[in-house]
């Protein structure tokens, strides 16, 4: 009986300790995100702002970089028809009435028709490069965000680690492993947030860059195609070296 009562007391004491132990508290997502103190909150706020800018740029450029907006087929055929009829003024006015990258390229070529085909070809090349640079300018911000977000997240992690280990140093090792682990995981949140922003930003940059390359090539081909009906009528379109060689042989 004595042993049974002792064992019963032992189990009652054990259950009492379990009852007194507070249950682990479940942290919400927002409490985890903003658990890095004042500096961590500031960095997380900056990362949230960067994420909003990234989403805006991805959506905006995905809608802007469409073939019908860069090199509309109906417009190109209309300009080609006007140029084939030698209606340069009407073609130039059409380019002004329906602005687009390919319209700017064709209008640049029309402006140089009186100076010969080499000048037209040079104008087409220069305007194509200019329009390509203009299209690249906006998506380059995605590359900047893709590189900036991880660095900002790493800054938050390093600063959080410094604070966590400083607490251990100040307490002279009295801080437990749980407190140290809590400080470390709070600091790592900013790195995760930075990577979450950087990965879609860099992926979207690569996709949009390839789309711009394709659209620029199509625009350059469309401009050459539009000038094809009058290319032989423009001075300098024939090969001058062959003609010069023939004239010298006759002399």
Q: Is 172's pLDDT higher than 80?
A: no
Tens digits of per-residue pLDDT, 105-146? 999 999 988 888 889 989 999 999 999 999 999 899 999 999
CB 100, CB 70: distance < 8 Å: yes
Token pair of 159 as six digits: 């600063």
Distance CA 50, CA 28 (A): 23
Q: Is 190's pLDDT higher than 70?
A: yes
Domain ranges of the chain: 35-237
| pTM reported for the whole predicted model | 0.72
Token pair of 140 as six digits: 């380059």
Interhelix angle 88-97/73-84, nearest 10 degrees: 160
Band (pLDDT 50/70/90 cuts) for residue 18 is: very low
* CB-based burial, 84-121: b 16+ in 10 Å, e otherwise: eeeeeeebbebbeeeebbbbbbbbbbbbbbeeebebbb
Selected residue with higher pLDDT from 237 and 51: 51
Token pair of 249 as six digits: 């042989």
Token pair of 150 as six digits: 């991880």
Distance CA 53, CA 72 (A): 29
Mean pLDDT, to the nearest integer, of 23-27? 48
Distance CA 56, CA 232 (A): 47
Tens digits of per-residue pLDDT, 35-53? 556 766 788 889 999 999 9
Mean pLDDT, to the nearest integer, of 3-9? 46
Can you give the pLDDT at residue 158?
Answer: 81
Percent of the chain with pLDDT over 90: 39
Among 14, 152, 97, which residue's Cα sits nearest to residue 107?
97
CB 75, CB 45: distance < 8 Å: no
């Amino acid at each position: 009986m004595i042993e049974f009562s002792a064992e019963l007391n032992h189990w009652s004491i054990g259950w009492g300790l379990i009852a007194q132990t507070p249950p682990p508290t479940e942290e919400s997502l927002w409490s985890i995100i903003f658990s890095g103190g004042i500096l961590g909150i500031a960095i997380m706020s900056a990362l949230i702002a960067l994420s909003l800018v990234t989403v805006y740029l991805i959506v905006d450029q995905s809608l802007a970089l469409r073939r019908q907006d860069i090199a509309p087929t109906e417009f190109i055929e209309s300009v080609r028809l006007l140029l084939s009829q030698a209606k340069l003024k009407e073609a130039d006015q059409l380019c002004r009435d329906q602005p687009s990258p390919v319209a700017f390229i064709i209008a640049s070529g029309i402006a140089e028709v009186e100076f010969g085909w080499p000048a037209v070809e040079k104008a087409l090349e220069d305007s194509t490069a200019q329009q390509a640079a203009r299209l690249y300018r906006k998506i380059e911000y995605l590359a900047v965000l893709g590189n900036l977000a991880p660095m900002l997240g790493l800054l938050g992690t390093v600063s959080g680690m410094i604070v966590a280990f400083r607490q251990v140093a100040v307490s002279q090792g009295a801080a437990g492993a749980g407190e140290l682990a809590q400080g470390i995981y709070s600091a790592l949140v900013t790195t995760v947030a930075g990577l979450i922003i950087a990965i879609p930003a860099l992926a979207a940059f690569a996709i949009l860059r390839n789309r711009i390359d394709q659209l620029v090539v199509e625009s350059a081909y469309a401009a050459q195609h539009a000038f094809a009906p009058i290319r032989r009528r423009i001075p300098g379109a024939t090969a001058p070296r062959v003609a010069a060689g023939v004239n010298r042989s006759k002399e």
